[in-house]
Structure 1
């Protein structure tokens, strides 16, 4: 069974991980574990209140297949959680790391995207982080980008974000494809 850690932050974008968590858990049997910076409950942009399973520091990468980070309002603020320890720990263990929307920019701030093809909401959002050095590898596109175990997507691409994650985790079965087909029908 695949285990996916979802790192939530205050005011996270709930719709960006809704499809992934529902399909992976309900249809594919994946174990979804939610974490917040300090293990305290958070409220999403849409007002959903989540009591997490644990704090970021409690996520042992060797026990997971992926770390998924949704965007949200807090990533671009001084109160944003520091992702460097969490991202570094998952990368050392060669685990899938995925960030969408403002979380893709937060990944850019960690240096993770400096040598990988990636995308996000806009190049300018990544440039807002002085440590970011990956501009030459930025892909200005509406779909998710996957490169060497790292997936990024603009906030408008939760469908392709989900597909890329399921494929990377070898969860892209006939059942997954059939379930996802309905969600992607509007893009045909």
Structure 2
């Protein structure tokens, strides 16, 4: 069973990775493991307390499948230098990096969008917080974009983000994934 690492930190936007994490954890091939900057209990934006399963220096890259980086104010206010080598290693080992909302600021600041189609909370959002960045000409105005192992989404596209993460990991075949997505996007409730 391979590990999907979910970064947890104080103030993380807990709703953004929820669907992806639940479906990954239900699969037979993956388990979700929370990873923090230290072992301290974190409190999400929604007030949920989480004790990280491990710290970023204890990631088992040989068993890793993906790293999921949820949004939160931290990404806008801090360069989060501790995550640069982690993301670099995932990319070097051809493992996906999934970033939603404010995490796209981190990826833009550190040059991870060079040669990669991506999205965010709007093109102006990235330009206001980062300025001109490597790959800014590859910005795509869509809810979620998956390209070259990097998945990006805006902060209100947690469903599309989950769909792209599940597709990248091959958790469902294409038809099943379409049915799953449609179930959440266009529910037909009995009256």
Q: What TM-score do you get using the length of structure 2 for normalisation? A: 0.87
SS at structure 1 position matched to 2:152: strand
Show the counterpart of 2:21.
Answer: 21
Contact 1:67 1:97 in 2 (8 A): yes
1:80-124 per-position Cα deviation (integer Å, ceiling 9, x unaligned): 463211101111111011100001221112211121000011223
Question: Given the superposition, is the C-alpha separation of residues 31 and 80 from structure 1 closer, same or farther in structure 2, using an over 3 Å criterion?
Answer: same
For residue 26 of structure 1, report the CA deviation from its aligned partner.
2.7
**Contact 1:2–1:169 (8 Å) recurs in 2:** no
- Cα distance between partner residues in 2 of 1:3 and 1:79: 26
Q: CA RMSD in A?
A: 2.2
Q: Distance in 2 between matches of 1:16 and 1:65?
A: 19
Q: Per-residue displacement from partner, 1:6-45 (whole Å, max 9, x unpaired)?
A: 1122200000011111122135562001111123221111
Match of 2:58 in 1: 58
Distance 1:29 1:95, change over 3 A: closer
- 2:168 matched to which residue of 1? 168
Question: Which is higher, the Rg of structure 1 or of structure 2?
Answer: 2
Separation in 1, partners of 2:132, 2:67:
22
SS at 2:40's partner residue? coil
Distance 1:39 1:178 in 2: 39
Aligned residues: 186
8 Å Cα contact 2:79/2:109 also seen in 1: no
Match status 1:111 vs 2:111: yes
**Contact 1:28 1:176 survives alignment (8 Å):** no
1:137 aligns with 2:138: yes
Please tell me whether the aligned partners of residues 13 and 46 of structure 2 are also in contact (alpha carbons under 8 angstroms). yes
Any conservation in 1 of the 2:19–2:159 contact (CA below 8 Å)?
yes
Q: Structure 1 regions of 5+ residues with no counterpart? A: none
Whole-Å Cα distance in 1 between the matches of residues 163 and 130 of structure 2? 28
Point out 4+ residue stretches in structure 1 off by more than 6 angstroms.
none
User: Following TM superposition, by how much is the alpha carbon of 1:180 offset from its aligned partner in structure 2, in angstroms?
Assistant: 4.1
Q: Structure 1: how far apart are the matches of 2:145 and 2:177?
A: 19
Could you tell me which residue of structure 2 aligns to residue 182 of structure 1?
183
Tell me how far apart the structure 2 counterparts of residues 129 and 57 of structure 1 sit (CA, whole Å).
27
The answer to which of 93-102 and 75-84 deviates more is 75-84
| Structure 2, unaligned runs of 5 or more | none
